[in-house]
Structure 1
Amino acid sequence: MIERFGLDEDVIRAQIMEWLAARTHDGAGAVTWAELRDFTLAGESLPLKDRVKGIWKPSGFSSALSITTTFRPEGAERPYDDGVIDKEILLRYKWNGTDPNEATNRALRAAMDLRAPLIWFVGIAKGLFQPYFPVYVVGEEPEGHQFLVSADAAELGSDSYAEEHIRRYLDVKTRHRLFQGIFRTQVLLAYRQRCAVCNLGHPPLLDAAHIVPDRDEAGIASVVNGMAMCKIHHAAFDSQLLGIRPDLVVQIKADLLLEIDGPMLKYGLQEMHGRSLMSVPTSRSLKPRLDLLEMAWERFKAG
């Protein structure tokens, strides 16, 4: 038991992850550095990540609680070369420095030995982090000064209190490819949390639509291959009922324009025909990429 909280450590981990799940709508949103810094439990301060170091072990904990991958603006380098081995399974996470006995490296190694569930915070903008949880340290590569971290629910091996109480979040997590949460958050930020087609500004009703589907070889998980769309326009876009011309003008399928089926069809789709997108990123580097728009436009015409 950690005395200042009056709770066992695995109970604390479960409660933190339950809070993160509620705060981020089961991992579909991001959390600010201020929220992570000011988190409290049982009236006591409990920061969820360190301000500088990537590996964080709070006072009284037996092992690390979280790891962080820093935000990297386009063209900038991260201080540590973390990388993904398999796009959906393993992350290489660098030691802090090269000394295996450095305190935070020992804390992460202890998490591996204890099979303790961790939180992985991925920086997506300055002061904004996408959490992934639970993740587990499943191996170490000393020659590369790095750990292997699993981002796959299949690595669960014990029946601790924490694991029992976060299984419902694992069900959500395993339905999504790794990094799709990051893609959604970055796209919604770029589009100022408004639907590109109709300008709806309610984030729970918004998706990050892929211009070219992610199953396609060209379907990169990048903002330039995304548009923020409300759920009706996202579904219409994916079904080739709605298309976006390369000049960012909305087109509705011809036979749909002739139908009569109530106000949603009329105002939600038909009246969008021929309009320019209402919300587009201001930064040129975040705008939809022309070649991807052209590919999607050809698919719409063919459909």
Structure 2
Amino acid sequence: MEWLAARTHDGAEPIGWGELRDFTLAGKSLPLKDRVKGIWKPAGFSAALSITTTYRPEGSERPYDDGVYDHDFLLRYKWNGTDPAEATNRALRAAMEQRVPLIWFVGVAKGLFQPHFPVYVVGEEPTAHQFLVSADAAALGGDSPFEEQLRRYADVTAKHRLFQGIFRSQVLRAYSERCAVCNLGHLPLLDAAHIIPDRDEQGIASVVNGMAMCKIHHAAFDSNLLGVRPDLVVQIRADLLHEIDGPMLRYGLQEMHGRPLMSVPRMRSLRPREDLLEKAWERFKAG
């Protein structure tokens, strides 16, 4: 996990299958995930090391509905099939019994995975053929109401971080790691901007509700200083167009006014959803 953290900025960036396959420990090959199986227990291990959720393009269904959470705020990971005694299911159950940390790889593109770690298997729902996964709080013990609330808060926070990390990777990849507004291509300066904020019930963590933006344009978009029309043309708030405040305002904002977005996904299914753009555009005009 230390090796993984160093290569993904503590899980903020995705990692390719090639690197995961070529990992070595003490001079011996030790892939961090299986190429095909969702639950991975390397030879010689007493329990699973990692779990994987398969990538599927926007609009297509996954073979397993991983990642959902219920009233208890715990994430769900599906069994392999329906047999509780199947080998990989037993390996994941052993991780639960031994209380060992795992890595959860979520596919964000073909051969590219967003890692989240550590996660812990903390329970099982046999009738639903799935395990319960805590994203951070399994090590918190005790049964007091305060500790229960603390565990719940930690799980909600970690769940949010998990899905926002996946959202960022998918959006930046869809936009070829360039700002939609100005085409800046320096990854550390790019964000995945929500068209509709995630606190809104329509603010889904999906590529169609996102645009890659550099940090200045993301902040301007969120502050209603910059808007994007449903036809993907940039508009700058009227009063800013007449200000004089140095080169950043002039070149970074004023000269973007009236220009079409400079970077959009090639696949139409990954482009901003029109109804979400309409709502954001109304918010900009009202602001």
From 171, 182, 188, the equivalent of 1:204 is 188
Q: State the shift of 1:76 in Å.
A: 3.8
- Given the alignment of the two structures, is residue 181 of structure 1 paired with residue 165 of structure 2, yes or no? yes
Q: State the shift of 1:88 in Å.
A: 9.4
Please name the residue that 1:214 is paired with: 198
**Would the aligned equivalents of 1:88 and 1:178 in 2 still touch at CA under 8 Å?**
no
Q: State the shift of 1:91 in Å.
A: 2.2
- Given the alignment of the two structures, is residue 141 of structure 1 paired with residue 128 of structure 2, yes or no? no
The 3-state SS of whatever aligns with 2:162 is coil
Q: Work out the CA distance in 2 between the residues paired with 1:193 and 1:286.
A: 14
- Given the alignment of the two structures, is residue 51 of structure 1 paired with residue 35 of structure 2, yes or no? yes
Q: What amino acid is the match of 2:199?
A: R
- Structure 1's 55 and 212: CA in aligned 2 closer, same or farther, altered over 3 A? same
Query: Which residues of 2 match residues 280-291 of structure 1 at below 5 A?
Result: 280-291=264-275
- Given the alignment of the two structures, is residue 236 of structure 1 paired with residue 242 of structure 2, yes or no? no
Could you tell me which runs of 5 or more consecutive residues in structure 1 were left unpaired when the two chains were aligned: 1-16, 159-169
- Structure 1's 224 and 75: CA in aligned 2 closer, same or farther, altered over 3 A? closer
Q: State the shift of 1:253 in Å.
A: 1.2
From 67, 82, 107, the equivalent of 2:66 is 82
- Structure 1's 240 and 231: CA in aligned 2 closer, same or farther, altered over 3 A? same
- Structure 1's 175 and 129: CA in aligned 2 closer, same or farther, altered over 3 A? closer
From 127, 147, 154, the equivalent of 2:137 is 154
Tell me how large the CA RMSD over aligned residues is.
Answer: 2.1
Q: Work out the CA distance in 1 between the residues paired with 2:71 and 2:259.
A: 38
Please name the residue that 2:257 is paired with: 273
- Given the alignment of the two structures, is residue 300 of structure 1 paired with residue 274 of structure 2, yes or no? no
Please name the residue that 2:145 is paired with: none
Q: State the shift of 1:175 in Å.
A: 9.3
Please name the residue that 1:70 is paired with: 54
Q: What CA deviation, in whole Å up to 9, does each residue of 1:187-207 have, x standing for no partner?
A: 111111100000000111100
Q: What amino acid is the match of 1:283?
A: M
**Would the aligned equivalents of 1:90 and 1:148 in 2 still touch at CA under 8 Å?**
yes
Q: What CA deviation, in whole Å up to 9, does each residue of 1:41-99 have, x standing for no partner?
A: 23221100111111111122221110011112345443334351239942222222333
Q: Work out the CA distance in 2 between the residues paired with 1:187 and 1:220.
A: 12
Q: State the shift of 1:136 in Å.
A: 0.5
Q: Work out the CA distance in 2 between the residues paired with 1:103 and 1:121.
A: 20
Q: Work out the CA distance in 2 between the residues paired with 1:257 and 1:42.
A: 61
Q: Work out the CA distance in 2 between the residues paired with 1:264 and 1:252.
A: 14
Q: Work out the CA distance in 1 between the residues paired with 2:160 and 2:2.
A: 19
Between 1:96-105 and 1:111-120, the stretch displaced more is: 96-105
- Given the alignment of the two structures, is residue 260 of structure 1 paired with residue 249 of structure 2, yes or no? no
- Structure 1's 280 and 53: CA in aligned 2 closer, same or farther, altered over 3 A? same
Q: Work out the CA distance in 2 between the residues paired with 1:258 and 1:111.
A: 62
Q: State the shift of 1:176 in Å.
A: 4.5
Q: Work out the CA distance in 1 between the residues paired with 2:235 and 2:126.
A: 55
Aligned length: 274
Between 1:252-261 and 1:284-293, the stretch displaced more is: 252-261
The 3-state SS of whatever aligns with 1:84 is coil
Q: Work out the CA distance in 1 between the residues paired with 2:140 and 2:52.
A: 24
Between 1:285-294 and 1:20-29, the stretch displaced more is: 20-29
Q: Work out the CA distance in 2 between the residues paired with 1:209 and 1:88.
A: 29
The 3-state SS of whatever aligns with 1:179 is helix
Q: Work out the CA distance in 1 between the residues paired with 2:242 and 2:72.
A: 44
Please name the residue that 1:31 is paired with: 15
- Structure 1's 295 and 54: CA in aligned 2 closer, same or farther, altered over 3 A? same
Please name the residue that 1:94 is paired with: 78
Q: What CA deviation, in whole Å up to 9, does each residue of 1:108-152 have, x standing for no partner?
A: 11111111111011111111111111110000122222211112x
Please name the residue that 1:105 is paired with: 89
**Would the aligned equivalents of 1:87 and 1:178 in 2 still touch at CA under 8 Å?**
no
**Would the aligned equivalents of 2:170 and 2:207 in 1 still touch at CA under 8 Å?**
yes
Q: Work out the CA distance in 1 between the residues paired with 2:159 and 2:247.
A: 33
Q: Work out the CA distance in 2 between the residues paired with 1:205 and 1:142.
A: 45
The 3-state SS of whatever aligns with 2:212 is strand
- Structure 1's 86 and 28: CA in aligned 2 closer, same or farther, altered over 3 A? farther
Q: Work out the CA distance in 2 between the residues paired with 1:216 and 1:75.
A: 21
Q: What amino acid is the match of 1:135?
A: V
Q: Work out the CA distance in 1 between the residues paired with 2:113 and 2:268.
A: 23
TM-score, normalised via structure 2 length: 0.89
Could you tell me which runs of 5 or more consecutive residues in structure 2 were left unpaired when the two chains were aligned: 142-153
